[in-house]
Chain A
Amino acid sequence: MGMTMTQKILADHAGLKSVKSGQLIMAKLDMVLGNDITTPVAIKEFRKIGLNKVFDVNKISIVPDHFTPNKDIKSAEQVKFIREFAREMGIVNFFEIGQMGVEHALLPEKGLVVCGDVVIGADSHTCTYGALGAFSTGIGSTDMAAGMATGEAWFKVPKAIKFVLEGKLSKWVSGKDVILHIIGMIGVDGALYKSMEFTGGGVAGLSMDDRFSMANMAIEAGGKNGIFPVDEKTIEYVKEHSTREFKIYEADEDAEYCEVYEIDLSKIKPTVAFPHLPENTKTVDKAGTVKIHQVVIGSCTNGRIEDMRSAAQILKGRKVHPDVRCIIIPATQKIWKQSMNEGLFDIFIEAGAAVSTPTCGPCLGGHMGILAKGERAVATTNRNFVGRMGHPESEVYLAGPAVAAASAVTGRISSPEDL
């Protein structure tokens, strides 16, 4: 029996010729990631081991992005704690304010993850790097501590679900709509403990930014990882951002999949996930009249340059509805500069939107756009759980940047076609 793409990467990193689903393995890690919320707990656990150095100062990334720029004294103390640890250990990839970005947009951009890597991150959206043909998955702080100490992690080799993508996306439809469509179809535990492998002729038509936002939300279907095959676009991206050597893995032809879904990309419409689960999806034309108070365009899911361009295309020459606060957050300094140089900020500001420095802030109800009781937001983020963006009686509707920008203009959930 052949192996899936994920299984092949894991086998290689475990020093094994082959692995089977369900097998427990120890795998070597190419990168260990943490943020300002999860790293403090990891450091405390790391100290308990009693080591005075990490396994490799180049293979750890620490990105203070959740409550930064520090929102309060406690957050400042947490970042100070991890900054001092990074200095003491000589960790190369500690990203201070001014260089940092939302971690899962930042690491690929900095060339810190390439095809074929095994990456763990103490952040559930670490699965984003599957877009590069890497195996990456979210873990907790204790696993991060263990990873920093030993450079290894244990994994149960996952089964896989195959998604065969065909056709081309329609206008105003992005990777976000595809992944929301998939989560709506299989549910928030539809891929529990499993890999989501995206294949098919339709992959070639998806941009890297589309792939990042799709792999990013694999966790929202319960997936262990989401992964794309490596093609010309991937290689071009990796060569542009990294000098590291990379390895391309392909699924065997006789690899075993527990389910196979065929998806015609041309039939996917702009999609919205209603509160309070990412699986509560409706196409935007069936959303009904939902008045909103806030729009957030940004996050590790949709804070990349194409998302900024998509929002700008809609906001150009239009105004944000007077009842709506529209907050736009380019995910990294590089994307920020690029947006500025392309004149996108002129469009945003003339439309009456606010532009923020990179932060995860509002996505998790941290800061920079918290909702009051009874308020509703359309957000390009990834979760709409109870209280996710603020008050437990507020609501988050997940969408792609085009729908979010259109909704900011009309003051209710809208398709770009409605404008």
Chain B
Amino acid sequence: MKAEGKVIKYGDNVDTDVIIPARYLNTSDPKELSMHCMEDIDKSFMDRVKPGDIMVGGKNFGCGSSREHAPIAIKASGISCVIAKTFARIFYRNAINIGLPILECAEASKDIEEGDKVSVDFDTGLITNITKGKKYEGVPFPEFMQEIIKSDGLINQIKKNLK
């Protein structure tokens, strides 16, 4: 599995309240949620984001609430992958469970800049910065989680196992 796109970059501790403010959680419709994605820290996000773009954050990305609406909103906005130094654990689980590809890589998180063109290979964890001509080694998913991703999410895996 691969992703390639232009980078939209944020800092440390991007929390789920700024990814999708609670005032919009009276719906669970992905498209409606995505309309408000990131708006409290970046009003231009939804105007700028193009399908396939890659979001890069610093440490503790997705901290805070357990709302699955956060990775749902990011995915529905067209973002193909999130790279961060570290992810908050509930966000990490949720992203895998709903099939939003994510990757931890400290070097990439530091070095990649807004607007860089980047490609990601999820099988190997290799991140290529096409703009800068650099490569970074991300941490690939453990096999257990790759199985969930290959099944296209946790629910499909359970369905498969119940048969």
A residues adjacent to B (C-beta < 8 A): 24, 37-38, 40-41, 44-45, 48-51, 66-67, 71-72, 74-75, 78, 121-124, 126, 138-143, 145-146, 149-150, 154, 188-189, 192-193, 219, 222, 224, 277, 364-366, 383, 385-388, 392
Contacts and interface: CB of A to CB of B under 8 A. Distances in A.
Contact of B88 (A72, A149, A189): A189
B159 A50 contact: yes
A30 B83 CA distance: 34
B65 interface: yes
Contacts, number: 134
**Residue of B23, B65, B159 with most partner-chain A CB within 10 A:** B65
Given A49-B162, A123-B66, A143 B93 contact: yes
B64 A143 contact: no
Give 5 closest A-B pairs by Cβ, nearest first.
A74-B26, A140-B94, A142-B97, A140-B68, A189-B60
B155 interface: yes
Given A122-B66, A143-B154, A192 B89 contact: yes
A277 B58 CA distance: 15
A41 B69 contact: yes
Interface string B94-133: 1001100000000000000000000000000000000000
13 contacts: A41-B72, A124-B64, A124-B65, A124-B66, A124-B90, A126-B66, A139-B66, A142-B154, A146-B154, A365-B17, A385-B18, A385-B64, A387-B17
Contacts of A224: 89
Contacts of B97: 140, 142-143, 146
A40 B25 CA distance: 11
Interface of B: 13, 15, 17-18, 21-23, 25-28, 40-41, 59-60, 63-69, 72, 86, 88-90, 93-94, 97-98, 142, 144, 153-156, 158-159, 162
Contact of A386 (B40, B142, B159, B162): B40
A211 B111 CA distance: 42
Given A139-B90, A142-B153, A193-B89, A49 B158 contact: yes
Contacts of A366: 22-23, 25
B68 A142 contact: yes
Contacts of A51: 162
Contacts of A45: 155
Given A37-B25, A140-B93, A142-B155, 4 more contacts: A44-B28, A192-B60, A385-B64, A386-B18
B28 A41 contact: yes
**Residue of B27, B28, B67, B142 with most partner-chain A CB within 10 A:** B28
A385 B17 contact: yes
B22 A146 contact: no
Contacts of A37: 22, 25, 67, 69
B98 A72 contact: no
Contacts of A277: 13
B28 A48 contact: no
Contacts of A139: 66, 90, 93-94
Contact of B60 (A24, A72, A188): A188
B15 A48 contact: no
Nearest to B90: A138
A29 to B, nearest CB: 14
